[in-house]
Structure 1
Amino acid sequence: MSVSVLGIRHHGPGSARSLRDELERLRPDIVLIEGPPEADGLVELAKDPGLEPPVALLAYVPGEPSKAAFWPFAVFSPEWQAIRHAVEAGVPVRFCDLPAAHSLASRPEEEPGEGRAPDTAPEDAGPEDGRPADRRGPAGHAPGTEPPEGEGPQAGMPAVRTDPIGTLARAAGYDDPERWWEDVVEHRGDTPFRVIAEAMAAVRDGHVADAYEARREAFMRRTIRRAVKDGFERIAVVCGAWHVPALAGTAEEGAGWGAGLPTVKADDELLRGLPKVKAEMTWVPWTYGRLAAWSGYGAGVTSPGWYHHLFASADRPVERWLTAAAGVLREEDLPVSSAHVIEAVRLTQSLAVLRGRPLAGLAEVTEAVRAVLCEGDDLPVELIQRRMVVGERLGHVPDATPMVPLQRHLREEQRRLRLKPEALDREHDLDLRRPLDLERSRLLHRLRLLGVDWGTPQESRSKGTFRESWTLAWRPEFDVDLIEAGAWGTTVPAAAAARVRDLADGGQPAGPTSQGAAGQGPAGPVPGAPGGRAAAPAGPSLAGLTGLVERCLLADLPDALPYVLDALSARAALDSDVTHLMAALPAMVRAQRYGDVRGTPATGLAAIVDALLTRVCVGLGGAVTGLDDDAARDLLRHIDGVQAAVALLDGASGAGSPQTRWLAALRGACGRSDLHGLIEGRLTRILLDAGDLDADQVGPRMSRAMSAGHPPARAAAWIEGFLSGGGLLLVHDARLLALIDGWLTGLAPETFVDVLPLLRRTFGAFAAPERRSIGSRVRSLVTGAVPGAEGVAELDEERAAAAVRTVLMILGKAEAE
């Protein structure tokens, strides 16, 4: 019987290649891999070609799926290569790390005797160290390095243990642990596992494991003993290099495995009484971008695309990389020739020689790309960084993978609607007149209600309401969100409808699940969700309910719509604040129109809109009085919103039409003597634009507002409100322009200085062409070319003669010579 403990670096292409060769040589009859034992039953899925890395093992607690942990694997991960070797050779695979049922049940950093803060795990710790995603601290330092100053343990905790890779790198004279590891392992691929074990034994000399690490290693030893007891003769153990001395022992050859290791009794004592929860395990797709985002905590690498290339292109990796980089730049129409690539290869080789490296690394390749291929421009270098160094690869899991019903239904919908999940951002313009695009829009809106923001709405380039623009990008955390949302229903429409009813009852709005330390998973229960609901508020606001009606129509949830409308009617009947009603009306009007554009029945909306508008019209007179500057601006925003909403309503122009009632309310409010200048000016402008007032009626009102009886600040506020709809009115109505000009030029110097900021804000909001036209009209006022101005400029007949002759020639009436 032999036990071979093979220490690797997680996500190391050199380790993966060496491990694959070593397993071919050893031909073990069982392979033990650092990871949660709950995943043993999922190993067989690695035979399925549909399981394409990058993927991750996801552990979660049913009923509390926000407690989750990920174990990500790329094609260049040694663990993945070990799994592939075992399934191809037909030998069993067991995971030997502490079960997820224990790690999800406890907070390792709070256990007594803990020897490090959660953000200081060594680089070669297991994938996520088996820790729940919501238990980790920030990951701010590069893998294999000491944590920066200030990232040590919290107060009262013991000192941080030594980082093994950093220690070995310093001993070799390197200031960068990453570069040392690449030079001695990644770029060589022939470092014996025995040498790694000896190096780790030297680094761990005198080290006392903390409680969590000791339990992990005790469970690994227990798993090895079980494999020995089961009669396996050739056992291969694949684990982080740091753990090798704790699993292989220090006895000389021939002493047999287990010599020098803790006894069975000691390990059983460590593992006795551990907290436990019921944990489920599955495979989920992963991305290289997310793998890079986890760098600094032992499970991530800053350049997964580069490592993938090193693993896949063992022959002439630098030349192949630079050739691919040239192809990426050419796709963007950047001029890159074969000569550029040849010179870049020479530069990387020269840099590697100068720096004493066995092979040019990513630093040398990036410098060559910047200097030669990009000619010193950093912008295309960022393109290479995003597409090649990090990569845009998204993994895939087969249909046989265990999933909650909601996940499986979404998978079917993605196939039916031909919406493929992708890691990179992809733009989609949807034409809602097409059935396929309409179904896609409904699916994306339903997912947003469930807090799965796969699609982000963008401002459509089309003016029509029948188009939508979305940006789609799939993130691994969405699988956790779907598991959590699975409590609402087994299909996307059913779950979204149940979620809407909960929100109408006062549940918290659905949104993206808060992320853990490195953006890697939920950090706790989502408020308002099953299994983690926060205390319900008194109820949703009126504006919140109207927005929910709009979202319900966008998502085509007719079963939930009546429930929300009932809640809205009850809330509106109890809400006496006119500004709340005004804030709610625009969303209701938009929702009513969506019922037409999308073919969605909106029964009951018209009655609610009419009731809201009636209450707004009745209460408007009391709402516009006694306002300070801030309150006036807030009310002005609501008035403009209602004005735009009323313009969208269909109806006759008779006495009972929405437009007529709204204008009557504005006319009554505008006649009050205690109005704020901003409100009075805006109401006057709305009535003028609607034809309820004409220019002859507006002129006297403006004169009164700017008379000496009013403070200049109020007059300036009146002008701001009057002109907030745009400045073209002053271009076309010379009388109003002359009134403003006369008031402004008549101000005393000190008063002019006081009102100038207000006027500048008003006129600064106009478009540049409007400002130029107004300036031209003001010059005409000075020359008297505008009716109402003093004096008329004398006509220069000599200059005008040339223009007259040109006009006569165009008209065919040129004067005879």
Structure 2
Amino acid sequence: HRLNLLGVPWGKHIPTRRQRGNYSEQWRLKWVPDMIVKVIEASLYGNQILPAATNFAVERARRAKELPELTGLLDQVILADLPEAVEQVMARLDESAALSHDVLHMMDALLPLAQVLRYGNVRQTNQAMVKRVVDGLVTRICVGLPVACRRLDDEAAQEFFDRIIQVHATLQTLQDEAYLMEWFAMLWRLESQIGLHGLLAGRVCRLLFDARQMSAREASRHLVLALTGLEREPAYPLLQAAFWIDGFLKGSGLLVLHDDLLLALLDEWITALDTEAFVTVLPLLRRTFSDFSENVRDRLVKRLRSGLAMAQRPADEDLNEAVAAQMSAMVSRLLGPLSALPEAS
């Protein structure tokens, strides 16, 4: 590890499952004559490997300007068992996080530090020092995220979408009550933010719902607000409504399958769209539904074929064949050809 840090790749570390300490590390060694030049270059930092690696790491930390570079360096010095360098890198990381305004970088930096805080490591890294840096990162992320999420285009919204999911999972793993309270309070602020991109608004609502911070009725109310927002302006809010659905449902179709109210709201919104509006949102909706497992899609088709909310319809009400045909065509466009799916029993 120390030689690799110094740029002398004599050994290549081979990851193994269930590593419990240094003894389980596996390496593939290969000496190349040109490496002697790299050894001579590394000797500028010290005549022995330990001091040379320490001095090199401290110098890199001093010159580093971005959080991702520092977190990557921290991982290297921990593996290389350089306690003096770890302290210097952590101090530099704390300083850099305090001055950083890039929320995405802070969110990226949180995961590796949280893993050290949660699971520790064989090098016995100072946990209190790591905790102090994580404390600062969580607070800065929660303060800066709502501001950073203003006026995002679709590409930027996707970046924040991925990071929000990552940070949420990280904090759930840590199970620190103070972190979670701070995070959920920020999610509520973000959810109520005017102009928030639909993809993020939908996902934030889903995270609060899954964490039991938001009731099913309240989640349905937010869905109604997102869907009816299209009445204010023509095309843009329409796409944002589709993005909201994508953000809320992405990765799991079980919720819409088992929640009659949610399915009814989606059904009502889609069937109310005119042809032009439907064609506008179709690619995004198709992407959302295609992300569901095949089993979920099959069951969803069966439910829609058998009629939505049958129990709520009077027994003597006749089925409108024209509407049924229209719904069948719509489901086919969203989920794929119905002929490829099993018949409803």
Deviation at residue 671 of structure 1 after TM alignment: 0.9
Once residues 637 and 739 of structure 1 are traced to their aligned partners in structure 2, the CA distance between those partners, rounded to angstroms, is 27
Over 3 Å counting, the alpha-carbon distance change for 1:487 and 1:720 in structure 2 is: same
What residue in structure 1 maps to residue 222 of structure 2? 701
In the alignment, what sits opposite 1:474?
Answer: 30
Alignment counterpart, residue 658 of structure 1, candidates 179, 185, 202: 179
- Pick closer, same or farther for the CA change 1:792–1:702 going to 2, 3 Å: farther
Does the CA contact (< 8 Å) of 2:68 and 2:108 recur in 1? Answer: yes
User: Offset at 1:470?
Assistant: 6.0
> Residues of 1 paired with 2:112 and 2:245: CA distance?
29
Structure 2 residue 30 is the aligned partner of structure 1 residue 544: no
Rounded to whole Å, the distance in 1 between the matches of 2:225 and 2:170 is 31
1:450 aligns with 2:20: no
Q: Give 1:635's aligned amino acid.
A: F
- Give me the TM-score of the superposition, normalised by structure 2: 0.78
User: Corresponding residue for 2:294?
Assistant: 771
The correspondence for 1:494, drawn from 51, 54, 63, is 51
**1:263: which partner in 2?**
none
Whether 1:782 aligns to 2:305 is: yes
Code of the aligned partner of 2:253 = G
Match of 1:644 in 2: 169
Q: How does 1:773-812 map to 2 (within 5 A)?
A: 773-784=296-307, 790=313
Task: State the distance in 1 between where 2:131 and 2:95 align.
Answer: 16
Which residue in 1 is equivalent to 2:192?
Answer: 671
Deviation at 1:677, TM superposition (A): 0.5
Give the Cα separation in 1 of the matches to 2:286 and 2:73.
Answer: 39
Q: 2:129 aligns with which of 604, 607, 620?
A: 604
Query: What is the CA deviation profile of residues 398-442 of structure 1, one whole-angstrom value per residue up to 9, with x for unaligned ones?
Result: xxxxxxxxxxxxxxxxxxxxxxxxxxxxxxxxxxxxxxxxxxxxx
**Other-structure match for 2:329:** none
Partner of 1:572: 97
CA distance in 1, matches of 2:19, 2:260: 37
Q: Which amino acid aligns with 2:74?
A: V
| TM-score, normalisation: structure 1 | 0.35
Conserved 8 A contact 2:19-2:25: no
Conserved? CA contact 1:617–1:661, under 8 Å: yes
* Within-5 A mapping of 1:174-573: 445-453=1-9, 454-456=11-13, 458=15, 462=17, 466=20, 472=28, 474=30, 476=32, 479-480=35-36, 481-506=38-63, 539-573=64-98
Equivalent position of 2:209 in the other structure? 688
Report how far residue 705 of structure 1 moved.
1.1
Superposed CA RMSD: 3.0
Matched with 2:148 is 623
Paired residue total: 308
Counterpart secondary structure, 1:472: strand
Match of 1:422 in 2: none
Higher relative contact order (CA 8 A, sep 6+): 1
8 Å CA contact 1:784, 1:792 repeated in 2: no
Distance 1:746 1:689 in 2: 29
Residue identity opposite 1:549 in structure 2 = L
Q: Which residue matches 1:752?
A: 278
Change (3 A) 1:550 1:678: same
Q: Secondary structure at the match of 1:674?
A: coil
Sort the Cα spacing of 1:605 and 1:455 in 2 relative to 1 into closer, same or farther, 3 A: same
Larger Cα Rg: Structure 1 or Structure 2?
A: 1
Q: Deviations over 1:599-653 (max 9, x none)?
A: 43334110111011112112222122221212212222221222122123243x3
Return the offset for 1:596.
Answer: 4.7
User: Would the aligned equivalents of 1:627 and 1:676 in 2 still touch at CA under 8 Å?
Assistant: yes
Please state how far the C-alpha of 1:776 moved relative to its aligned partner.
1.2
Selected match of 1:733 from 237, 259, 273? 259
- Return the alpha-carbon distance in structure 2 between the equivalents of residues 551 and 622 of structure 1: 33
1:503 partner letter: R
1:722 matched to 2:252:
no
Following the alignment from structure 2 to structure 1, what is the Cα–Cα distance between the partners of residues 147 and 104? Answer: 11
What letter is aligned with 1:493?
Answer: L
Q: 2:118 aligns with which of 593, 600, 621?
A: 593
Instruction: Give the distance between the partners of 1:745 and 1:478, measured in 2 at CA.
Output: 69
Q: Distance in 1 between matches of 2:34 and 2:173?
A: 37
**What amino acid maps onto 1:601 in structure 2?**
N
Task: Structure 1 unaligned segments of length 5 or more: list them.
Answer: 1-444, 507-538, 794-817
SS of corresponding position for 2:120 = helix
Q: Which has the higher helix share?
A: 2
1:634 equivalent among 148, 159, 169: 159
Q: CA deviation at 1:676?
A: 0.8
Going from structure 1 to structure 2, the CA distance change for 1:728 and 1:668 (only over 3 Å counts) comes to same
Instruction: Give the letter aligned to residue 497 of structure 1.
Output: T
What is the one-letter code of the residue matched to 1:773?
V
Q: How many Å separate the matches in 1 of 2:257 and 2:81?
A: 46
Aligned residues of 1:503 and 1:540 also touching (Cα < 8 A): no
Q: Deviations over 1:191-244 (max 9, x none)?
A: xxxxxxxxxxxxxxxxxxxxxxxxxxxxxxxxxxxxxxxxxxxxxxxxxxxxxx
From the two aligned structures, give the one with the greater strand fraction. Answer: 1
Question: Cα distance, 1:670 vs. partner?
Answer: 0.5
**Local SS of the residue matching 1:476:** coil
| Structure 1 ranges of 4+ moved more than 4 A | 464-471, 785-793
Q: Find the counterpart in structure 1 of residue 337 from structure 2.
A: none
Q: Distance in 2 between matches of 1:671 and 1:736?
A: 20
Decide whether the 8 Å contact of 1:784 with 1:790 is kept in 2: no
Per the alignment, do residues 603 and 695 of structure 1 end up closer, same or farther by CA in structure 2, a change over 3 Å counting?
A: same
SS in 1 for 2:74: helix
Which residue identity does 2:131 align to in structure 1?
Answer: A
Pairwise CA distance, 1:773: 1.7
Aligned amino acid, residue 448 of structure 1: N
1:18-43: CA deviation from partner (whole Å, max 9, x where unpaired): xxxxxxxxxxxxxxxxxxxxxxxxxx
